[in-house]
Chains A and B, each alone.
Chain A
Amino acid sequence: MGSNPVTWLGSPVFPKAAKAALADTQLRRNLRKATHTIRDKRTRVVSELPDWEELRRAGEAIKDDVLSNLDTYLERIEAAVTARGGVVHWARDAREANEIVLRLAREAGTDEVVKVKSMATAEIGLNEALEAGGIRAIETDLAELIVQLGHDRPSHILVPAIHRNRSEIKEIFQREMAEKPVSDEPRELAEAARRHLRRKFLSAKVAVSGANFGVADTGSIVVVESEGNGRMCLTLPEVLITVMGIEKLVPTWQDLEVFLQLLPRSSTAERMNPYTSVWTGVTPGDGPQQFHLVLLDNGRTDALADRVGRQALRCIRCSACLNVCPVYERTGGQAYGSVYPGPIGAILSPQLVNDMHDKQAASLPYASSLCGACYEVCPVRINIPEVLVHLRAEAVEAKGRTPESVGMAALGWLFADARRYENAQKVGSLARHLAPSGRISSLPWPGSKWTSTRDVPTPPAESFRTWWRRNRG
C-alpha cells in the first residue's frame, strides 16, 4: 500500500481476500442475516415518506453545491466556528491530522481519550497513532468496542462488527472485560458494555469525535448516533476534538432538514436515530469548554479533481449500499482491505489512495457485479456503477495490462451458486448503462451535472453481460 492508511497495510488484492472470506460459512451466515434484516427494514421506512425521491434529489444537489464551492464553504465554517470560541485546524493528510490530535491531547494533560465512532479517524489510523504517542484511545460505540476488544478489523461502515454473531461477541467480552457478561443475549451484552465504559465516560478529560455534518453558515456540527456514547463524549469531557472530512459540509441549517430525513432511514432504517447532537463552538456552562475542529483532506482533493469520481464525495456514510450489494454479502467487509468496504469503498478507497499502481487499491473497482442496486438505494444518488467503470479504465491504463491480470474481470466464482444469486433480475439495470456503441453517452438517470460533461468509455473489460452469459449456463 501507499502512505495513506485508508487501506490496510499488507492486505491482499480483493479477489484473493474474497476467496478466503467465501470459505468462512459462519461469516456468510452472519452477514446474510444482518444485511437482509436491515435492507427489509429500510424499504419499509423509506416507503413511508411520499417525498423520498424529492429528498434524494435535494440531497444530491446540496452536496454538489458544497463540492463545487468547497473552498468558500470551508472558509465560512472556519469563521463561524472561530467566532463561537472553537479552534479550527487544517490537515493535509493522515499524518498531519494525527499529529494535531496527539498534540492537543498531550496539551490537555491526559493519557487516555474516549472516542465516538468515526469513519474519518478510522481512515487516518488515529488510534494507532495515539497509541504510539503514549495515549490510549477508547472506542465507546458498542460495535467499535467489539472490534477493538477482539483485536479485529471493522467490516461495515455502520455496524463494524456485523461479521460477529452474539456468541462470538460474548466470548470476546468474557475474555477482555473485568465484569464478564453471563449470557449472549444482546441485552446482557449491551449491559456489559455499559458497565465497562461507565467510569471512563464520567471521568474522561478529552473526547475525539467525527462529524456527520458541519453547517458552513453557523459552524454547527452534527453527530448522529444511537447508544448515547456519542452524547457522553460530546457533553462530559473538558476538551472535544472533532475530525471532519472537508466534504462533510452543508451550506445552511435549513439543508439539514433534508439530511436528517435521508440519513436515519438509509442507515439504521429508523424514522429517526435515538440521538442527534448539534453544537456550535463552545457554550459557556454546557459541555466541553474547549472545542477543536480538524478539517481533513487526506486524498479528498484528489477525488475532487476527478470529474467522474468526485461524486463519491457526496457520500453521507449511511451504508445502505453495503446492505444491498451481492458482492459485499458474500465476501464481507474485511476483504476490501479498507475502512470503507462495499460499493462506496470500491470507489472511494482507490480515489483516496490515488495510486493505481497500488495493486490492492486498483483491484477494488472490480469488487462489483455492476448490478446497480447500490445506486438505487443511495440517498445522495451517487452513480456507483458509473464510477466503478471509470476507475476500472484508469486501473487498466495505469497497468498497461488486461483487466483480468489487474484483478477480477470475471466474478463468476463469487456467484458460483447461481440459484442464490437473487439479484439476477438486476442485470437489466446494467444493460441500461451501456450503449451499443460501447460508450456511455447519456446516463439513464438525469441530474448528474458532473457526468453529463463528457462521454465515459466503457471499460475494455469483459462486460457483466458477457460474464453473465458465460457463467449462468
Chain B
Amino acid sequence: MADARSVVLGRIRRALADRPAAAAIPRSYDVTRPLGDLVELAAERIADYRAEVHQVASADVPAKIASLLAARGARRMVGPVDLPSSWQVDGAEWLIDSPSLTIDQLDAADGVLTGCAVAIAETGTIVLDGGEAQGRRALTLVPDYHLCVARADQIVGIVPEALARLEPTRPLTFISGPSATSDIELDRVEGVHGPRTLHVIIAT
C-alpha cells in the first residue's frame, strides 16, 4: 500500500487536473499609514485592552519600575538573563533565568519584567521574540503579572511594518492586553490563563 504522503500528494495533483492558474496577488493594501504620533497612539490602543500604560523618559525607567512594583507589592520578580541591571531595582528580589528557573519557581513569583522586540501602535500590540531582555516564552506566561518596557524606536504603525521587522523562525508572541475571554455571552473579561495584569512602560 502506498504511503499516506504520496497518496495525498497524488490526490492533490489529480484534483488540480484543470490546472487552475492563480492570479497575481493584488498587494494594494497599505504597508504603512500616516498615523500621527505613534507613541500616543500605541499608549491609547494598549490601554484600550485595559492594560496600564506609562510614558516616561528613558532615564526615568528604573524609577518607574520601582514605583510600579512597590505599588503592587511585587517582591519576587522574574527576569531574563540579559535583563538590564539598572532595571533590577531595589525593593524586589530578582530571580534571573540562569540557570533556568523551574515552572514552580515561575508560578511562585509575583511577576516578570521584560523588554520587547516590536510594538504595533494601530492594534496596541507588543511582540516578544526571545531577543534582547525578553528570555524564553515561559517567563512571560506563568507569572500572573507582566511588566514590559517598550522603547519609542520599537514602535511601528501597522501590522505589515511589524512583520517586516521580525524574524519568523524565532519563537514569537504577539500580546494585545492581558489574557481575556469572550466565551461567556461574548462579554469580554480580562484574566484567564495568561498574566492577568499587563503594565507597559513606553520609554521616550
CA–CA, A34 and B186, complex, Å: 6
Is A228 a contact partner of B193 (Cβ separation < 8 A)? yes
**B10-18, B83-91, B147-155 - interface stretch:** B10-18
Contact partner, B177, options A141, A197, A256, A274, Cβ 8 Å? A274
B138 & A283 in contact (Cβ 8 Å cutoff): no
A contact residues around B33 at 8 Å (CB): 50
| Residues of A contacting B29 in the complex (Cβ-Cβ under 8 angstroms) | 51, 54-55, 58, 258
Residues of B contacting A146 in the complex (Cβ-Cβ under 8 angstroms): 183
Q: Collect the chain A residues with CB atoms within 8 Å of residue B203's CB.
A: none
Total count of chain A residues near the partner, CB < 8 A: 99
Contacts of A281 in B (CB 8 A): 169
Report whether B138 and A235 are in contact in the complex, using a CB–CB cutoff of 8 Å. Answer: yes
Asked whether B55 is an interface residue with its Cβ less than 8 Å from the other chain, the reply is no
- The answer to whether A38 has its CB under 8 Å from any CB of chain B is yes
Q: How many A-B residue pairs have CB under 8 A?
A: 256
Using an 8 Å CB-CB cutoff, how does the interface string of B2-24 with A read, 1 for contact, 0 for none?
01110111011111111011111
**A58–B31 CA distance with the chains assembled, in angstroms:** 13
- Give chain A residues whose Cβ lies under 8 Å from the Cβ of B73: none
**Is there a chain A Cβ closer than 8 Å to B115's Cβ?**
no
Q: Bound complex: CA of A113 vs CA of B127, how far in Å?
A: 28
Q: Give Cα A89–Cα B5 distance, bound, in whole angstroms.
A: 8
**Is the pair B22, A92 in contact by a Cβ cutoff of 8 Å?**
no
Assess the B168–A253 pair: CB atoms within 8 A: yes
* List of B residues within 8 angstroms of A285 by Cβ: 100, 136
Residues of A within 8 A of B163 (CB): 253-254, 256-257, 260
Separation in Å of the B2 CB from the closest CB of chain A?
10
Q: Which of A2-10, A161-169, A338-346 forms contacts with chain B?
A: A161-169
Chain A to chain B contacts (Cβ below 8 Å), 11 pairs: A65-B22, A84-B169, A227-B183, A231-B193, A231-B194, A254-B163, A257-B163, A275-B176, A286-B137, A287-B136, A305-B15
| B interface residues, Cβ below 8 angstroms from A | 3-5, 7-9, 11-18, 20-31, 33, 45, 48-49, 100, 103-104, 107, 120, 122-125, 130, 136-138, 141-142, 159-160, 163-164, 168-187, 189, 191-195
Q: Which 8 A-B pairs have the closest CB atoms?
A: A228-B194, A305-B15, A301-B11, A227-B192, A228-B193, A276-B174, A286-B136, A54-B29
